[in-house]
Amino acid sequence: MQNTDADTLRRFVRDGLGCTCPDAVLRSIEVEANPAVFADLGPGTQLIKVGGRLLVLVVRMADGGDLSQRLAEWFARGRALREREGWNRFRLVVAAADPAGAGPILTKAFDDLGLDDRLHLHVIAARELPDL
């Protein structure tokens, strides 16, 4: 990965997602395209691995799609991966064409799951997603 790519990813994780990880953690960032554990999510899905502590799954939401029914399954897989491999946090990032419309629906579905505080949901505009 080129330095500019790494810098862009650091800014996305820190500023876009609000990660408060120390700078030392953000020195190591890897992107895995179409990770096996989430293979059914289709092409364009990425798993960002940050400093051995943070997993960030990026899913692109098709226009008009409703992912709320699948959140429980994805968070169960994310939690299992986090626990199995010794990561600290798992964040699911949904990049939507219309985050204002999708955000409240997904946030309510996420809140209803009652998950632990090391699992997070972010709904962002697709245009805010860095080129992975």
Encode pLDDT of 5-45 as tens digits: 888 888 999 998 998 888 888 889 999 988 988 888 877 89
Question: What does the alpha-carbon distance between residue 120 and residue 118 come to, in Å, rounded to a whole number?
Answer: 7
Question: What does the alpha-carbon distance between residue 31 and residue 11 come to, in Å, rounded to a whole number?
Answer: 15
Question: What does the alpha-carbon distance between residue 125 and residue 35 come to, in Å, rounded to a whole number?
Answer: 22
pLDDT at 64: 52
Q: Chain-centre distance of CA 86, in angstroms?
A: 17
Mean pLDDT, the chain, whole residue set: 88
Backbone dihedral angles phi then psi of residue 27, each to the nearest 5 degrees: -70, -25
| Angle formed at CA 17 by CA 16 and CA 23, multiple of 5 degrees | 90
Share of the chain above pLDDT 90, in %: 52
The pLDDT of 39-62, averaged and rounded, is: 89
pLDDT at 2: 44
Residue 14 per-residue DSSP state: I
- Spell out where 34-73 has E strands: 46-50, 54-61
pLDDT higher than threshold 50 for residue 85:
yes
pLDDT higher than threshold 50 for residue 3:
no
112 membership: H or E segment, kind and range: helix 99-113
Backbone dihedral angles phi then psi of residue 34, each to the nearest 5 degrees: 50, 60
The least confident of 1-10, 31-40, 44-53, 95-104 is 1-10
